[in-house]
Amino acid sequence: MSNDDRRNFEKAVRAAVPKYSETPTKGGLESLVTFGAEAVAVETSPLAVARNRNAPPAERAAALHALAPRQRNDEEFVQLLLKLAGDSSEPPELRSGVLRILRQLRFSSVLLNQKRAQLIETLRPIIDDPDPTLRQDALEMLAQEKDEYVQRRLLESLTGQAPLPAALEKTVQLLGYDIHAEHFPVLRDIAKNAPTATARREAVRLLASDPQSIQLLREIFHDKNEDQEVRRASANGYLSLDPAGFEQEAKKIVLDPAEDGDVRAASLSALTHFAHPSTRDEELNGYVEALGKRDLPKPLEDAVRTYNRRQSS
């Protein structure tokens, strides 16, 4: 499923939910029901619709959505959700919709929270499903559960021992749900060598808790040939790991008119909100005040205005 397909499916589900919200959960007379352009003789209770493989997936998902608030602690309902999610013969859009309902029940169902082991067991096979949306949903849910199996699969794929279960950028991001020191060498390699700026950025985000990466983050922050998004991500980590060092480097960047406008603005924003007062010295104050009188690109103009306003208040 593409993102657009998924959005359109969710819209169709939401539009159909009211049809099932007031009907009895179970039982119901057989009648003619119109699904889109097709009239089908079915039992019309939401549970029956949800179980009916001939009903359109959006109708089935809508029936389940309508049931969820009132059936959230019902054993039969929760087991049906787990069964549908794990059944590879069911349509992928229905299964994706069911995973969303399971995520919703994580917020409101005591019963589901007591069945976390069964949920994990249901999700694990889905990370190898042919459908990429289902794979990614299951991967993320397992990563959120800090499932040791999925952590191992993610790391193996990032070290080339197995195929990536999702895009490189997403695989790196998912590792962040349960980051460990053993991940940092792999992440440093990706931060330096990954083919896309986004992948490098995701790795840099996760290095913000690695003291051994201070020098790498400093180098990326200063690298005018690096993508500005990666440089800004490194600024965040560098600031966390070495605030005093960052402040001095950020000040140099602000004072350098040859620097990237967004990186200058982001550096100035950090100095405005988080820097030690001694960093906001006469040299910086005077320079930024003078900048405020010039035409600047908008992000830098905004950052200069904010800094000057703070200094004067």
**55 makes contact with another protein (CB under 8 A):** no
Q: The tokens of 152 are what?
A: 């191992």
**CB 13 within 8 Å of CB 58:** yes
Nearer to another protein, 52 or 73 (CB): 73
83 binds another protein (CB under 8 A): no
135 lies in the site for another protein, by CB under 8 A: no
Q: Closer to another protein at the Cβ: 45 or 198?
A: 198
Closest to another protein by CB, 104 or 118 = 104
Residue type at position 249? E
Q: How many residues bind another protein (CB under 8 A)?
A: 68
Contacting another protein within 150-209 (CB under 8 A) = 167, 169-170, 173, 176-177, 179, 198, 201-202, 205-206, 208-209
Show the site string, 3-32: x = touches another protein by CB under 8 A, - = not.
Answer: ---xx--xx-xx--xx--------------
Percent helix, strand, coil in the chain (nearest 5)? 75, 5, 25
Q: Which residues pair with 33 in a beta bridge?
A: 40
Residue 140 found at the interface with another protein (CB under 8 A): yes
Contact region with another protein (CB under 8 A), list: 109-117, 123-131, 151-159, 280-288: 109-117
**C-alpha torsion angle, residues 179, 151, 233, 274 (rounded to 10):** -30
Q: Which amino acid is at 3?
A: N
Q: Which stretch binds another protein (CB under 8 A): 155-163, 251-259, 268-276, 288-296?
A: 268-276
For residue 53, what are its two tokens? 């493989």
Residue 111 and residue 91 in contact, taking contact as beta carbons nearer than 8 Å: no
Query: Which stretch, 35-43, 49-57, 132-140, 151-159, contacts another protein (CB under 8 A)?
Result: 132-140
Q: Least distance from C-beta 128 to another protein, angstroms?
A: 19
- Candidate residues 33, 35, 90, 106; the one interacting with another protein per rule CB under 8 A: 106
Q: What is the DSSP string of 140-167?
A: HHHHHTT-HHHHHHHHHHHTTSS--SS-
Task: Pick the stretch among 23-31, 101-109, 157-165, 248-256 that binds another protein (CB under 8 A).
Answer: 101-109
Distance between CA atoms of residues 300 and 75, nearest Å: 57
* Ramachandran sector of residue 103 (left: φ over 0; alpha: ψ -120 to 50; beta: rest): alpha
Q: Is 105 in the site for another protein (CB under 8 A)?
A: yes
Helical axes 243-254 vs 261-274, angle rounded to 10°: 130
Least Cβ distance, residue 86 to another protein (angstroms) = 19
The length of the chain in residues reads 313
3-class secondary-structure state, position 42: strand
3-state secondary structure of 19: helix
Give the binding range for another protein (CB under 8 A) out of 27-35, 36-44, 105-113, 121-129: 105-113
> How far apart (Å, rounded) are the C-alpha atoms in residues 273 and 133?
39
201 to 240: interface string for another protein, x by CB under 8 A: xx--xx-xx-------------------x--xx--xx-xx
Residues 216 and 227 sit within 8 Å (Cβ to Cβ): no
Residue 290, CB half-sphere, CA atoms under 13 Å: how many? 9
Site for another protein, rule CB under 8 A: 6-7, 10-11, 13-14, 17-18, 65, 68-70, 72, 100, 103-110, 113-114, 136-137, 140-141, 144, 167, 169-170, 173, 176-177, 179, 198, 201-202, 205-206, 208-209, 229, 232-233, 236-237, 239-240, 243, 261-266, 268-270, 272-274, 299-300, 302-303, 306
